[in-house]
Amino acid sequence: MLTKRIIPLFLLKEGRIYKGERFKNFIDVGDPTSQGMIYDAQGADEIIIVDIEASKKKKIINSRIINSMITKCRLPIAAGGGIRDVKSAKECFSAGADKIIVNTHAILNPWLVKEMAREFGSQSVVVSIDVKKSGSNYDVYIYSGTRKIEVKLKDLIKKFIDCGAGEIIITCIDKEGTMSGFDCNLYSWLRKLVSVPLIASGGAGSYDHIVDLFKESDCDACAIGKMLFLRDYDIVRIKSYIKGKDVTVREA
Which residues sit at the interface with other proteins, rule CB under 8 A?
1-3, 5, 40, 43, 45-46, 67, 70-71, 74-76, 90, 93-99, 118-124, 166-167, 195-197, 220-221, 250-252
Q: Shortest gap between Cβ of 147 and other proteins (angstroms)?
A: 30
Judged by beta carbon, residue 133 or residue 191, the one nearer other proteins is: 191
Closest to other proteins by CB, 2 or 232: 2
Nearer to other proteins, 142 or 210 (CB): 210
Q: How far is the CB of 169 from other proteins (least distance, A)?
A: 12
How many angstroms separate the CA atoms of 71 and 75, rounded?
Answer: 10
Q: Residue 216 and residue 88: Cα distance in Å, rounded?
A: 37
Beta carbons of 222 and 8 less than 8 angstroms apart: no
Strands 24-30, 16-21: pairing kind? antiparallel
The number of C-alpha atoms within 13 Å of 135 and in the hemisphere containing its C-beta is 1
Distance, in Å, from the CA atom of 46 to the CA atom of 41, rounded to the nearest integer, reads 12
Element (H, E) at 223: strand 221-224
Instruction: Return the number of the residue (25 or 195) whose C-beta is nearest other proteins.
Output: 195
Report in angstroms how near the CB of residue 182 gets to other proteins at its nearest: 19
Q: Minimum distance from CB of 97 to other proteins (Å)?
A: 7
